[in-house]
Amino acid sequence: MTNPVYILNGPNLNLLGHREPAVYGRDTLDDIKGLATARAVSLGLAIDFRQTNDEGELIGWIQEARTAAAAIIVNAAGLTHTSVALLDALQASELPIVEVHLSNIFRRDSFRQHSYVSLAATGVICGLGAKGYELALEAVRAILDKKSAA
């Protein structure tokens, strides 16, 4: 049995659907989890989908992923732009990492245009709303296939 792909969501993403819908859309995190679950099944991947408002908990999950996950898809939300500790945990994981943002962070405030997560990410998807999570799973499938063929 292959390890699941951890899909980790950071602070305030539990409010999706209600929080600034003009920026983040009307999908709730549960809607996104449903989309991701269906896409994962069609790609032959298992997922473990989680959200936390706590930086330490997110780092704990990334440490757990080192041995328990096949890859990490992460939307670290506001921590993206602030957390060196999160970057350190991601780098230590030695896993394929796809960074996702619902909004296009490069069209927004200048402080959102720097991402610590990107320094550890294999690739980044932003600005495509909930679809970004499905695209991230497709990318993970391709990365894992390439890895197992090597």
Chain residues that interact with ligand DQA, rule: CB under 6 A? 12, 75, 77-78, 80, 101-103, 105, 112
Minimal distance, residue 134 CB to ligand DQA, in Å: 14
Minimal distance, residue 121 CB to ligand DQA, in Å: 13
- Beta carbon nearer to ligand DQA, 114 or 146: 114
Rounded to whole angstroms, the Cα distance separating 93 from 19 reads 31
Which of these, 62, 52, 67, 74, lies nearest to 8 by C-alpha position?
74
From 6, 18, 24, 116, active-site residue: 24
- Beta carbon nearer to ligand DQA, 93 or 103: 103
Bridge partners of 97, per DSSP, are 72
C-beta separation of 85 from 59 below 8 A: yes
Q: Where are the alpha helices (DSSP H) in 4-122?
A: 21-24, 29-43, 55-68, 84-93
- Beta carbon nearer to ligand DQA, 12 or 37: 12
Minimal distance, residue 126 CB to ligand DQA, in Å: 7
**Catalytic (active site) residue 133:** no
C-beta separation of 125 from 102 below 8 A: no
From 6, 101, 116, 133, active-site residue: 101
**Catalytic (active site) residue 101:** yes
Side-chain half-sphere CA neighbours of 72 within 13 A: 32
Residues assigned a catalytic role: 24, 101
